Chain A
Amino acid sequence: MTMSDPTNPSLPGTAPDPPGYAPVNYLNETWGLKSWLLTLDHKRIGILYLISVSFYFALGGLMAALIRIELATPQGDLVSPDWYNRLFTMHGVMMIFFFLIPAVPGVLGNFLLPLMIGAKDVAFPKLNLLSWYLYNIGALFAFWALLHGGVDTGWTFYTPLSTSYTNTHVIAVGLGIFINGFSSILAGVNFMVTIHRMRAPGQGWFRLPLFVWGIYATSLIQVLGTPVLAITILLLAAERLFHIGVFDPKYGGDPVLFQHFFWFYSHPAVYIMILPAMGVISEIVAAFSRKRIFGYKFVAFASVAIATLGFLVWAHHMFISGMSVYAGAVFSILTMFVAVPSAVKVFNWTATLYKGSVLWETPMVYALGFIGVFVIGGLTGTMLATLGLDAHIHDTYFLVAHFHYVMVGSAVMGYLGGIHLWWPKITGRMYPVFLSKVAAITVFVGFNVTFFPQFLLGYLGMPRRYHTYPPEWQTLNVMSSAGATILGVGYLIPMLYLAWSLKFGPKASANPWGAVGLEWETTSPPPVHNFATPPVVTTEAYDYRARAAPAEVPVGG
């Protein structure tokens, strides 16, 4: 990756290395494909995840592009209905199971968790590598299915469509998700044990960075929720192959039961995608306000509250499925409860800016964009949780817009913000400042132009998963497709300059942002064992007062 010659760090004619830049580091201490594919170093495994998730993100993005081109006209003219259905199904499967769920924990969690708690590695390094392999084996099943025609049930696999009526590759994709689930479970167990057992001396629970709290809450969901998904997929496969009569009414089953099982995992899975991204936002806001997060404990407990309450709201996906109206009322109010800790987080992040030392660096642009987008995603979520409104906007583009505001707007923006925050640490290189800000703003604008018109389309009544639509909705759809083009460019630029920076980017110092956190105390990139001497924690997280040297004057009121 970095090309510096370890024996001669300052070649003639180049600037000397900045303080804390390590010419010899985890990236170049050993060489060769084998040293990567058999690595037990959490940092290298993080990079393996980075490569994998980027591939599946690009693949899912390509399918989204085709969907948006098709929807630029009301008629079905680009692809057949058959292929349209496969496109949105595989887009969902790829993005959710093989990008969003592993992205932040797999890439940033793996790289940073041990660094943030002053550990040499995660608790079970071999298990960590196994997680990455299981993830890729799972993804290969889905990829194989894609090459052989894909699956057309929607990522939700509703029965009895998926068990008796489709002839596409339900089992192959299901198996892929099943195997990938074990990756998720093992990663969750690994992170939980690491956080419990391997914190640096002096680092109590309330001295942990909030990213660690986010990862902890996420791991909790992964460990408790994913087995239910595994069971559901097994039952689905058994129903499809042997007609055991669990889900298909033709054999005495209950089709709505599947939805309960499916959402019991898949709703908490939404929080698997958003909680770690929220953790990233806490880190960015603290680093670029140079200030402790306002209401640290509220933000930390909000993560745990979201993870816990997240298990009690699954049937809000099923208000109009024929379920009892009283059950609907219970799930509606529980969903309102889960909105509260999310609101608390937003207010605390915003309040952190007060009397901060705010720098609008690229990661901060992503983070503040995240907050704006997440507010809209969250508020429209409360509309969908309102029974009388859901009856109308259920499964329309209003819902599509809502969950893209949470998953693309928020989770992906959080992920990109995190990548930009820690890129100097991960690679030892800086990226172009101006270009990266332009890209961040392009993503923000492109995202909103793509998905905001979809709220209007949804309230107008455009159902999701429609290959064609009434002509009077074309204007809004064209806007959305145009926005998607901008968004695509916004995603492409960082891929290019980040790749460029690996070789040509200026070398990074140990702490280019002047941020507080154990990960900034080691070199960039870190050595194989992370710290020259095991760190000891003596202050709370984000303690900029302790860090302030005499030259560093705190701002006045």
Chain B
Amino acid sequence: MTPNAPLFPPSASELARQVDYLFFFALAFSIFFAVLIAVLIAVLGSKYRRRHPDEVGVASDDHAPSSKMLELTWTAIPFGLLLILFGWGTWVFFHQMRPPDDAVEYWVTGKQWMWKMQHPDGTREINELHVPLGRTVKLKMISEDVIHDFFVPAFRVHVDVLPSRYTTYWFRADKTGTYHLFCGQYCGVEHAYMVGRIVVLPPKEYEQWLAGVRPGRPPLRSGEELFAANACNTCHRPDSSARAPILNGIFGKSVKLLDGKTVVADDEYVRESILNPQARIVAGYQPIMPTFKGVIPEEELLQLVEYVKKLPPPAAAPQETR
């Protein structure tokens, strides 16, 4: 058990340790049953070994109360243990899949075969993500092509990264260090090379790191800039003369559609409305918006959706000059 050949992975979050406790429980009862069966086979198999070529066994009476009791026992005990495993596992999983409210959002775009990361301030990294110790980090993830999977063994969580839909990964690193990042879903020729690192830094060093790399890595254009550059603002204006729905304050609200249905304006809907505007038209508007499919890359879509999300409700909207 040299340091060069570890038998157990490092853990870098409280939740990772929760997974380990769950694993030890499952391991304990697995070892118990595996040893029990192995010992029974060895003992019974030698105690009752054939001593005469014509010998036959003594058939058990399946209808005897003792036989029925045995069957009931070895049905009920594993069943009970499995229910505990299920309950505990589900409890851990719900925590793994649901980021806490204080999470700071980072963005991840997967493509064959690299990870593109964005910090909240727009700083970009490839195949590496620096995060400050103790910060609850929430990754909003999407793929540009096939299904990928964000997997950091030190956090003990995988989450698939899908084309066409956002998924979320979160962690709160509590140990500084550098940790493996893998693509956990087979994604084509160079799948094994779609790997990277998560670097957990003390908060101060993180700020220094950000300040150090920022000048060399121009951030993406902000959502506001993209909103103007793609001419979204010519129609989606926060005034009554708009030819398109007013987006201010719309995020998270129910919207009535042309076909009478309603939809919640979440990030999926906003993303879809940019790429495929005809899919779900808001009631009272004409289907005149052109598609931006293939025009706006996923990374910029993330910024745009974020911008729409943060648009203040109309009353509080700053009056634009006409």
Using a CB–CB distance below 8 Å, which chain A residues touch chain B? 76, 81-82, 84-85, 152-154, 156, 158, 160-161, 165-166, 249-250, 252, 254-256, 289-292, 294-298, 319-322, 325, 328-329, 332-333, 336, 339-340, 343-344, 346-348, 350-360, 368, 371-372, 375-376, 379-380, 382-383, 385-392, 394-396, 456, 459-461, 463-476, 514, 542-545, 547-549, 551-555, 557
Contacts and interface: CB of A to CB of B under 8 A. Distances in A.
Nearest to B182: A463
A357 B9 contact: no
A464 B158 CA distance: 13
Contact of B192 (A76, A161, A329): A76
B71 to A, nearest CB: 5
A252 B276 CA distance: 9
A207 B78 CA distance: 29
10 contacts: A154-B186, A249-B163, A290-B56, A353-B48, A358-B46, A386-B26, A388-B88, A395-B151, A395-B185, A549-B54
Given A336-B82, A355-B60, A380-B30, A255 B50 contact: no
A463 B62 contact: no
Contacts of B222: none
Interface string B215-257: 0000000000000000000000000000000000000000000
Given A81-B193, A545-B59, A382 B8 contact: no
Given A355-B48, A376-B34, A389 B59 contact: no
Nearest to B152: A461
B6 to A, nearest CB: 6
A466 B48 contact: no
Contact of A325 (B48, B52, B55, B94): B94
Contact of B37 (A358, A371, A380, A552): A371
Nearest to A516: B56
A551 B121 CA distance: 90
Nearest to A153: B186
B106 to A, nearest CB: 18
B191 A340 contact: no
Contacts, number: 313
Given A322-B165, A545-B59, A386 B50 contact: no
A554 B59 CA distance: 10
B209 interface: no
B30 A383 contact: yes
A388 B19 contact: yes
B288 interface: no
A255 B8 contact: no
Given A158-B147, A322-B165, A291 B59 contact: yes
B147 A255 contact: yes
B75 interface: yes
Contact of A465 (B33, B78, B186): B186
B9 to A, nearest CB: 5
Interface residues of B, number: 90
A382 B55 contact: no
B168 to A, nearest CB: 9
B301 interface: no
B156 interface: yes
A544 B59 CA distance: 8
Nearest to A544: B56
Contact of B48 (A158, A254, A385, A555): A555
A470 B185 contact: no
A354 B44 contact: yes
A91 B156 CA distance: 29
Nearest to A474: B5
Enumerate the 4 nearest inter-chain pairs by beta-carbon distance, A residue then B residue, closest first.
Answer: A461-B153, A388-B92, A291-B57, A249-B164
Contacts of B151: 395, 461, 463
A332 B146 CA distance: 26
A292 B7 contact: no
B55 A290 contact: yes
Contact of A358 (B48, B52, B90): B48
A81 B19 contact: no
A475 B1 CA distance: 10
Given A249-B162, A375-B34, A549-B54, 16 more contacts: A153-B186, A156-B186, A158-B186, A291-B56, A294-B60, A325-B94, A347-B74, A354-B60, A358-B48, A382-B85, A389-B92, A391-B157, A392-B19, A460-B8, A476-B5, A543-B59
A351 B70 contact: yes
B204 interface: no
Contacts of B41: 350, 353, 368, 371-372
B183 interface: yes
Contact of A461 (B78, B182, B191): B182
Given A295-B71, A376-B34, A463 B183 contact: yes
B90 A388 contact: yes
Contact of B45 (A351, A360, A475, A555): A360
B31 to A, nearest CB: 9
Contacts of A332: 86, 89-90
B188 interface: yes
Contacts of A475: 4-5
Contacts of A158: 146-147, 185-186
Nearest to A302: B75
B56 A461 contact: no
A383 B26 contact: yes
A352 B40 CA distance: 11
B192 A395 contact: no
A161 B158 contact: no
A355 B57 contact: yes
Contacts of B315: none
Interface string B172-207: 000000001011111111111100000000000000
A379 B56 CA distance: 33
Interface in B1-52: 4-9, 18-19, 22-23, 26-27, 29-30, 33-34, 37-38, 40-41, 44-46, 48-52
A292 B192 contact: no
Contact of A295 (B19, B23, B50, B62): B62
Given A320-B159, A358-B45, A380-B30, A346 B37 contact: yes
Interface in B103-138: 112
B44 A555 contact: no
A350 B37 contact: yes
B193 A321 contact: no
Given A461-B180, A468-B192, A554-B56, A320 B71 contact: no
A351 B146 contact: no
A472 B22 CA distance: 25
Given A358-B45, A375-B34, A461-B180, A255 B162 contact: yes
Nearest to A548: B56
A294 B67 contact: yes
Interface centre among A160, A333, A353, A473 (most CB of B within 10 A): A353
Contacts of A387: 86, 89-90, 92-93
Contact of A459 (B23, B70, B186): B23
Contacts of A254: 164
A539 to B, nearest CB: 11
A474 B165 CA distance: 37
B79 to A, nearest CB: 5
B180 A388 contact: no
Contacts of B296: none
A84 B191 CA distance: 11
A433 B199 CA distance: 59
A124 B263 CA distance: 56
B78 A340 contact: yes
Nearest to A288: B50
A340 B158 contact: no
Given A325-B93, A359-B49, A340 B82 contact: yes
Contacts of B154: 461
Contacts of B75: 340, 343-344
A165 B93 contact: no
